[in-house]
Every structure is written in C-alpha cells, then in structure tokens.
C-alpha cells in the first residue's frame, strides 16, 4: 500500500548559517495585506514610545574645577581629550573615556578667556585676563620639570576670545580690536578696528579658512578677511551677540547666539536678514557650536538649559537640563557627532549624548536595521497627533516652563497690539515686519 505523506524540502526553509535571516515565504501582494497602514502606525507609535523611554542623554559629569568653567576646547586630532579653562585661570585637560582630569595647569591670573588647540594638535593656546597669550605643549611636563608655556605674548589689552586657523600657523584674538597673529611673531600681522571698542568672540571660518567673524559690543557682528587690510561688513542687531559659529559644512552660513534669547543663522552674503531665527530659550544664549555634520547646532543658555536646533528649524528638537546645572557658559559638540559637552557656572563639565535615545557602542546589523526602520516609521508618522504628542513631549523645570509660558503671552500681547495699531491707522503706514527683519537694525558696509 502506498501511503501519501506531506513532505517538505528543507532547502526551502532552512537557513545556511545562523547569521542568515529566517527564510519566510511571503506574498507581497498588497491586496492580501489590507491592514498595513494600521500595523505600521502601531509600530511607529511603539517606536516613538520606546524612544522616549530610552531617552537618557546625560552621561557623565566631570568635576574638578574650583571655579566656573569659562571656556572649553576640543582636541583637533583626538576625540577623547578635552580642555577646559575656568574663571580662576586654571586649565584642565580631561580624558573623556575615563572621565578624569589628566593635567592641571595654572595658566593665567584671572579668567581664562579663550582656548584653542593648534590645527595639528601639538600645542594649544590660551588667553586670559592678564593680557597674555600663552602657548602650551600638548604633553604634560616630565617629572621634576616645571609647567611652563612654550611661548608668551604680552598684549596691551585684555583678550576676550581666541581662535586658530584651520590650516596654517595663524591665530586670531579679540579684545579691543581683532588681531590676527602669526605664531612666529610677537606682534599681530593684522589688526582690525571699526569704531568698536570691544569684541566678545572671534571665529575662523572652517571651510573658507581666511574668513573670520566676530561679535562686538555695539551689538554688531563683523566679518573679516584675513588677507584684506579692512573688515568686510557688519550687521548691527537689536541686541548684542555673544558668540558666533560657522557651519563646518556650508561655507557661508553662520549662527550667532544673542542676548535676546534667540539664535540667528545668517548667510554671510546677505546680512540684511537672517535665514532663520531660532527661538526657544528663555534667557540670553551664551554659546553655540555646530555639529560636525553641519546639520544641527547646540546652544547653551543663561536659563540653565542646553538646546539642540536643526540648522534650518525655528525651534529646538531637544532640550537638556539637570537639577544641578546652573548657567551654561560654554558648549561643544564632539568631533564624531555623538556627544555634547557643556561647561557651566557650578564648576562642572557635563557629557551628553547628542541623540538622546541612541544606543551607544557597536550595533549588530539587525539591530541597526531595526533602528533604521523605526526611525523611518517615526518620520513617516510624525504628523499624526498621538505620535507627535509623544515625540514632542519634554519635561522642563518649573521655572523654565513658566517663563516659556510667560514669553508666549508677552509675544502674543505684542502681536495683538501691533495688529490693533495697524487696524486703527491709515493702511500702509504700519508695515508688517517679519520676525526675521525685526532683529536687524542695519547693515554697515
């Protein structure tokens, strides 16, 4: 008697190695899958929820300074090294992987105002309130050797900022004027003044390396070309800008952090209005730094928070705060686009994840695929109210929350008043001024 049995060929369903994906015969005919949208929606919702669950951005706090951290510098060739200068003139070198200080030196008397690592990473410069520029060796002094700067330049006035050229041995300082120095000389090769008595920050353009931008105390941002004897242009705003940062991937964009709680992204060719106004902070913005991909930037504010903005977004995508963090004075985005470092008033340097919910370390391929898929799902369903609600929810300290609310009310009131004035005056006499134009006073050629 012949017995018929069901038989299957194992080649059809057994995978060759255990690393392979399980072979699942599938029919992709869309008519067989009527609930694809709802299923994906559920997945997206879950992914969003999980993202919020896993969003733990704070990694470590580096303590050791005996005064507020006033400035920081990234190492140009080494990811794990960080330099920080405090208000008592002390400079510390940190090892980020070990979360420890590897070297401490008393660099200046008074504040350390600025710090920058040479483009090749062999030495670093500091400027301080004692009117000196000092160049230090990268290596710690050997046993018994004294900690001494390689080079000291005595200036006539206090220096408030410092930046180094990306390719050459040239650096720029600012104080009463913007000076460009050759490393080999003790006097500046160029110095720019333009009717302003003090500057708060100067930055080299990392792409077009000969260009500089500086923030002056007369509420202006001034552009320079190192090769030209005169400055290029300046834009005067309603309030003073504290720092400025160039986009490292897009040569003509820069962002400045302003006292009026906003950040402004400018195209250096068209200074008459900013490209984007980034709002969300509720107090003066003290520092800004671009991510090395040039897609986002992070800002530090007097309101004790750190916010991350997309470069073309008007509002922040993320806000970081902790109970103990006071006014954040300086901020850096690490060169591998993964971390953010903030130095604040209460003597601590904090290490954050740039992407709050990201899993650190090496991902297995399937894990990576899953995260990619989830990311896309979140993107796809981002406009759905439930998902939006979850994805956009952030906890804020009470006072910041209330301040935000207050700001909103004030803004609304101002808007209403303007509208009323317009309504009750002759048509055309009260023009509509856009938010972008509102903050620029004039452009000086």
Residue 422, classified by CB atoms within 10 Å of its CB into exposed (0-12), middle (13-18) or buried (19+), is middle
The whole-angstrom separation of Cα 332 and Cα 295 is 15
Q: Report in angstroms the alpha-carbon separations of 15 from 20, 22, 28, 366, 367.
A: 6, 6, 21, 16, 19
336 is a site residue for other proteins (CB under 8 A): yes
223 is a site residue for other proteins (CB under 8 A): yes
Helix, coil or strand: residue 283: coil
Tell me the number of residues near other proteins by CB under 8 A. 56
Please identify, using beta-carbon distances, which residue of 69 and 202 lies nearer to other proteins: 202
CB of residue 141 to other proteins, shortest distance in Å: 27
Among residues 315, 324, 380, 417, which is the contact residue for other proteins, using CB under 8 A? 380
Query: 83, 102 in Cβ contact below 8 A?
Result: no
What strand order describes the sheet that includes 100-106? 69-74, 81-86, 90-95, 100-106
What strand order describes the sheet that includes 123-128? 112-117, 123-128, 132-137, 151-154
- List the x/- string, 84-123, binding to other proteins by CB under 8 A: ----------------------------------------
229 is a site residue for other proteins (CB under 8 A): yes
Which 296-325 residues touch other proteins, going by CB under 8 A? none
The whole-angstrom separation of Cα 202 and Cα 243 is 8
217 is a site residue for other proteins (CB under 8 A): no
Among residues 59, 249, 357, 390, which is the contact residue for other proteins, using CB under 8 A? 249
Please identify, using beta-carbon distances, which residue of 90 and 318 lies nearer to other proteins: 318
The whole-angstrom separation of Cα 288 and Cα 33 is 49
Strand 58-63 to strand 190-192: parallel, antiparallel, or no bridges (unpaired)? unpaired
Please identify, using beta-carbon distances, which residue of 144 and 229 lies nearer to other proteins: 229
Residues 6+ apart with CB under 8 A from 22: 15
Please identify, using beta-carbon distances, which residue of 251 and 396 lies nearer to other proteins: 251
> What are the beta bridge partners of residue 100?
95
Among residues 13, 14, 15, 39, which is the contact residue for other proteins, using CB under 8 A? 39
- List the x/- string, 123-162, binding to other proteins by CB under 8 A: ----------------------------------------
CB of residue 263 to other proteins, shortest distance in Å: 20
233 is a site residue for other proteins (CB under 8 A): yes
User: H/E element holding 61?
Assistant: strand 58-63
Return the range that interacts with other proteins (CB under 8 A); candidates 47-55, 135-143, 244-252, 432-440. Answer: 244-252
Query: 439, 262 in Cβ contact below 8 A?
Result: yes
79 is a site residue for other proteins (CB under 8 A): yes
User: How many angstroms from the chain centroid is the CA of residue 401?
Assistant: 22
Retrieve residue 285's tokens.
């913005």
Return the range that interacts with other proteins (CB under 8 A); candidates 148-156, 213-221, 231-239, 392-400. Answer: 231-239
26 is a site residue for other proteins (CB under 8 A): yes
CB of residue 86 to other proteins, shortest distance in Å: 26
272 is a site residue for other proteins (CB under 8 A): no
Among residues 8, 98, 269, 395, which is the contact residue for other proteins, using CB under 8 A? 269
375 is a site residue for other proteins (CB under 8 A): yes
Please identify, using beta-carbon distances, which residue of 159 and 204 lies nearer to other proteins: 204
Return the range that interacts with other proteins (CB under 8 A); candidates 107-115, 171-179, 250-258, 392-400. Answer: 250-258
The whole-angstrom separation of Cα 204 and Cα 254 is 11
Beta strands in 129-219 (DSSP E): 132-137, 151-154, 161-164, 170-174, 178-182, 190-192, 199-204, 211-216
367 is a site residue for other proteins (CB under 8 A): no
231 is a site residue for other proteins (CB under 8 A): yes
Q: Report in angstroms the alpha-carbon separations of 32 from 26, 27, 36, 40, 356.
A: 11, 8, 10, 15, 38
411 is a site residue for other proteins (CB under 8 A): no
Residue 282, classified by CB atoms within 10 Å of its CB into exposed (0-12), middle (13-18) or buried (19+), is buried
What is the binding site for other proteins (CB under 8 A)? 21, 26, 28, 30, 33, 36-37, 39-41, 43, 77, 79, 166, 206-208, 211, 223, 225, 228-233, 248-252, 268-269, 292-295, 335-338, 361-362, 369, 372-373, 375-377, 380-381, 383-386, 445
């Amino acid at each position: 008697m012949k017995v018929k049995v069901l038989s299957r060929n194992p080649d059809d369903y057994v995978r060759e190695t255990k690393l392979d994906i399980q072979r699942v015969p599938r029919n992709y005919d869309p008519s067989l899958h009527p609930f694809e949208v709802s299923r994906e929606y559920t997945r997206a919702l879950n992914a969003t929820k999980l993202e919020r669950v896993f969003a733990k951005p704070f990694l470590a706090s580096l303590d050791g300074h005996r005064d507020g951290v006033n400035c920081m510098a990234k190492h140009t060739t080494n990811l794990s090294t960080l330099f920080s200068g405090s208000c008592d003139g002390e400079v510390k070198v940190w090892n980020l992987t070990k979360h420890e200080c590897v070297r401490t030196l008393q660099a200046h008397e008074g504040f350390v105002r600025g710090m920058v690592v040479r483009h090749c990473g062999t030495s670093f410069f500091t400027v301080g309130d004692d009117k000196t520029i000092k160049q230090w060796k990268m290596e710690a002094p050997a046993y018994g050797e004294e900690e001494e700067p390689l080079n000291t330049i005595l200036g006539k006035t206090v220096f408030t900022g410092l930046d180094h050229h990306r390719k050459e041995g040239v650096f720029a300082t600012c104080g009463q004027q913007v000076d460009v120095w050759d490393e080999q000389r003790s006097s500046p090769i160029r110095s720019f003044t333009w009717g302003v008595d003090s500057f708060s920050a100067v930055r080299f353009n990392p792409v077009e390396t000969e260009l500089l931008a500086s923030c002056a105390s007369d509420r202006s941002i001034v552009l320079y070309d190192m090769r030209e004897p005169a400055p290029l242009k300046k834009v005067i705003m309603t309030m003073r800008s504290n720092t400025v940062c160039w986009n490292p991937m897009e040569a003509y964009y820069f962002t400045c952090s302003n006292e009026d709680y906003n950040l402004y992204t400018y195209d250096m060719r068209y200074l008459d209005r900013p490209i984007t106004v980034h709002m969300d902070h509720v107090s003066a913005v003290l520092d800004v730094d671009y991510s090395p991909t040039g897609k986002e930037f992070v800002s530090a504010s007097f309101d004790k928070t750190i916010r991350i903005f997309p470069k073309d977004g008007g509002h922040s995508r993320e806000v970081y705060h902790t109970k103990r963090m006071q006014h954040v004075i300086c901020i850096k985005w690490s060169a591998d686009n993964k971390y953010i470092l903030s130095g604040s008033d209460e003597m601590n340097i904090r290490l954050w994840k740039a992407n709050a919910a990201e899993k650190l370390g090496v991902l297995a391929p399937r894990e990576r695929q899953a995260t990619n898929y989830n990311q896309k799902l979140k993107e796809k369903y981002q406009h759905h109210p439930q998902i939006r609600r979850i994805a956009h929810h952030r906890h804020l300290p009470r006072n910041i929350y209330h301040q935000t609310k207050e700001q909103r009310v004030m803004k609304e009131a101002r808007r209403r008043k303007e509208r009323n004035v317009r309504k009750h005056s002759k048509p055309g006499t009260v023009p509509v001024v856009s938010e972008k134009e509102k903050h620029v006073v004039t452009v000086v050629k």
